[in-house]
Structure formats: structure tokens, C-alpha cells
Amino acid sequence: MSKIYAIANQKGGVGKTTTCVNLAASLVATKKRVLLIDSDPQGNATMGSGVPKDDVPFSIYDVLVESVPVMQASQLSPSGNFSVIAANGDLTAAEVQLLELSDKQFRLKKALAAVEDMYDYILIDCPPSLNMLTLNALVACDGVIIPMQCEYYSLEGISALIKTINQIQLHLNPNLSIEGIVRTMYDPRSSLTVEVSEQLKEYFGNKLYQVCIPRNVRLAEAPSYGQPALVYDRQSKGAIAYLALAGEFIRRSERLQQKS
């Protein structure tokens, strides 16, 4: 059965989409079957996976609003070898249209039930805000992966997200939990980075991934070529870090499955 994870942070610019695309590619490199769902109208995860966002027969909009089956809407990333359900500007309209549906919070959860045995992991790239799209992702998923920079503004953003997760856990998805916190754009030379990192260790304990994703030019360049860093430059520090993160992620996920 698929394990479903939302990659979420209500603060933008923290490496959320970069983490989603590169974690997907790194999981595939370890022989896992992966579906990436782009749930952000900007469609950055779609483009970063090498899929032209405005030239797809179906997008996540069609899955959520028109009930198009997941398998019909998904396609293979030409660069990452994982399946992708694209997002584009059409998704903006889904916000309003979903509000008119009686099962508006559960549309994605119901859609994914049909493919629960086809993938090892399903990763959902959420928009940087709490809206109906993010809500659908959080209701559908087993856990949340939170990418964040080691800055004080990021700490404020993460506290707001935790409150949201607690509310959804209470009312809509009792199985929802924080899977882990990923430190992104990490620069150990910065005293602020180190200080905030220590605070995260103290507060989140083993929820904090040991692997940190460094600031890396190749990692930043890769999306403009429609490629994960692993394909663009396998030897780059960014690609190596995401491979290490995938390894830590798999070990943690499998350990939790054994306990349950």
C-alpha cells in the first residue's frame, strides 16, 4: 500500500518544490515506485520534472473537480522516471469549484484510493498557503514533510503549520502526523543557521532529519532544464544530499511500518 506524504510549508521560498522533485527522483534511484502530485497552480514541480505544464491532457484540476482517474491523469517524468500529475493555472479555479462540492476536503483522498497498491510513495507538492488544495493534500496523506530554512521567520511559519496540522488531525484525518523536518539551503558558516538548527533539534528531536540540504548552485539550476539535480549533475552536493535524505526517509518510513 502506498505511503502518502504532503510536502508543505505555509511560507514560500523554503525549497518545498525542490525537495518534492528531488526526493521523488532519489526514491526512484533506490528502485521505489513514486507518484508526484503537483498541487500548486504555479506548476513548478511539473516543470521541474520535465513536463510542460500547459501541454498536458489532464492535470490535478481534472482529478479534483472532474473526477478524472489518477492513472489517466498521470504521466512519466522524462527526466526523473517517476509518475507525475501536472498542475497549471487551471488549478486556481479549483479553489472556488471545490467549495461547491459536498465532499470538498476528501476529493484527493478518494481519487488516490484507486492507486494505493501501484506506488510505494506518493508525494504531494502543496501550495505555500492554507487553502482547499493544501487541505485536500493533508486529509489524503499519512504524514507531512516540512522543508524549512534555518531562519527566524521560518520558525514562525512552521508554528502556524503545526497548528493547522493539529486541527486537521482533530477533525478530518486522525492519522496525520509530521513525518519530518528538512533543513534546506543550509549554510553551516552562518551563526544564525546553526542557532536555529539547534532550536529545531531541541524542539523536534527525532522528527528532524539528520541530512541537511546545502545551498547549491547546481540544485538551483536544475529546474530550468526540467531535471532533478540527480539527472542534471549527479555529483553535485545537492544531488548527493537528496540521495542521502531519501535513504534516511526510507529507513524511517519502513521502521514506522514495522511498528504499526
What is the tens place of the pLDDT at every residue in 124-156? 999 998 899 999 999 999 999 999 988 877 777
Beta strands in 66-223 (DSSP E): 74-76, 83-85, 121-125, 143-148, 177-186, 208-214
- Using a 10 angstrom Cβ sphere, with 0-12 exposed, 13-18 middle and 19 or more buried, the burial of residue 149 is buried
Rounded Cα gap, residues 260 and 246, in angstroms:
21
Q: How far is CA 128 from the centre of its chain?
A: 11
**CB-based contact 142:135 (threshold 8 Å):** no
Task: Show Cβ contacts of residue 127 under 8 Å, excluding neighbours closer than 6 positions.
Answer: 39, 40, 41, 42, 133, 134
Least confident among 73-82, 148-157, 191-200 = 148-157
pLDDT at 69: 98
Task: Show Cβ contacts of residue 57 under 8 Å, excluding neighbours closer than 6 positions.
Answer: none
Rounded Cα gap, residues 100 and 211, in angstroms:
42
Sole residue written with cell 528531488? 22
For residue 113, give the C-alpha cell.
484510493
Proportion of the chain above pLDDT 90, given as a percent: 81
Mean pLDDT, residues 28-47 taken together: 97
Rounded Cα gap, residues 50 and 56, in angstroms:
12
Mean pLDDT, residues 75-91 taken together: 95
Structural domains in the chain plus CATH codes: 3-259 (3.40.50.300)
More confident residue, 144 or 252: 144
pLDDT at 50 over 80: yes
pLDDT at 95 over 70: yes
More confident residue, 13 or 169: 169
